[in-house]
Amino acid sequence: MIVDASDLHISARPGQFFNVLCGEDNFPLLRRPFSIYRINKDSNTLEFLYLVKGIGTQRLAGIKAGETVDIFGPLGTGFTLRENEGTILMLARGVGIATLAALAQEAAEQGIRSVAILSARTRNDLLAAEALQGFGAKVYKVTDEDGTSGVEQVRQLIEQIMIEDEISAAYTCGSQRLSMLLQEIAAEQDIFAEIALEENMGCAMGVCFACVCDIQEADGSTRTVRVCKEGPVFSLEQVVLA
């Protein structure tokens, strides 16, 4: 879904999201949060990539070109793309790939090389691969269908990439098991890493506390934070993944 954002007075960042009203009546009542897929500065448009699953996305799929949609944002905390970064690694599964596409776009604009590992059930489910390649990312595809998406196989692939491309930062979204893997590898390699969390949100403004997660502090204690407000992007080192 491409929307005209020419009246948006706040710059959107990769990793942030918008809360979208999916219909004009009272059902579905709650808005749906969608991460930013692409930020097109030249045309002042934003793009959102989603799978049609429930009533909310079904209603969105029925919106025609030229019609208006009620959205608000950008919300939350985006990714940190550090200056003079070397090569970044992106690891995503399913619709989590959409969240990292805007990051690949931003990296390309800053002259930062990127490598992406995209995981899905089948080859047909590998979203945004062409878009990432269009941003200059080197893309590796792993699927359940091909038997290449297991944790140990992905570990070997990451270790190979670490050697070949000298990764200096890593980002992930969409899979808890792959996020736990990257969390372990990032700690071993002592590299900067962030995760974009996906949660069901009630208000998306930090009021309802429906989308919480645990963060581990430097002293070993944990505290509960709101994904919509303090996140959805967090330091991968700090997030408690169970």
- Which segments are annotated as binding site for FAD? 32-35, 56-57
- Which segments are annotated as binding site for [2Fe-2S] cluster? 203, 208, 211, 228
Rounded to whole angstroms, the Cα distance separating 53 from 176 reads: 21
pLDDT for the residue 76? 94
Over residues 130-147, mean pLDDT = 92
Q: E strand or H helix at 109, and its extent?
A: helix 96-109
Share the mean pLDDT of the chain: 91
pLDDT for the residue 228? 93
Rounded to whole angstroms, the Cα distance separating 72 from 16 reads: 12
Instruction: Report which of 145, 164, 232 is spatially closest to residue 195, judged by C-alpha positions.
Output: 232
Distances (CA, A) of 189 to 162, 184, 213, 214: 9, 9, 25, 24
Task: Read off the pLDDT band of 124 (50, 70, 90).
Answer: confident
For 224, counting Cβ atoms within 10 Å of its Cβ (0-12 exposed, 13-18 middle, 19+ buried), the class is exposed
Indicate if the pLDDT at residue 49 is higher than 80.
yes
Q: How far is CA 233 from the centre of its chain?
A: 8
Indicate if the pLDDT at residue 149 is higher than 90.
yes
pLDDT for the residue 198? 87
Distances (CA, A) of 211 to 63, 143, 194: 28, 29, 18
Q: What are 185-223's pLDDT values in tens digits? A: 999 999 999 999 988 888 998 999 989 999 999 888 999
pLDDT for the residue 222? 94
Task: Read off the pLDDT band of 29 (50, 70, 90).
Answer: confident
Q: What are 69-104's pLDDT values in tens digits? A: 898 899 999 999 987 778 999 999 988 888 899 999
Task: Read off the pLDDT band of 105 (50, 70, 90).
Answer: very high
pLDDT for the residue 241? 92
Q: Of all residues in the chain, what percent carry a pLDDT higher than 90?
A: 66
Q: What is the pTM of this model?
A: 0.92
Q: Which CATH superfamily is domain 2-75 in?
A: Translation factors (2.40.30.10)
Segments making up each domain of the chain, as ranges? 2-75, 87-198
- Which segments are annotated as binding site? 32-35, 56-57, 203, 208, 211, 228
pLDDT for the residue 227? 94
CATH 3.40.50.80 is right for the domain spanning 87-198: yes
The tokens of 84 are what?
A: 């003079």
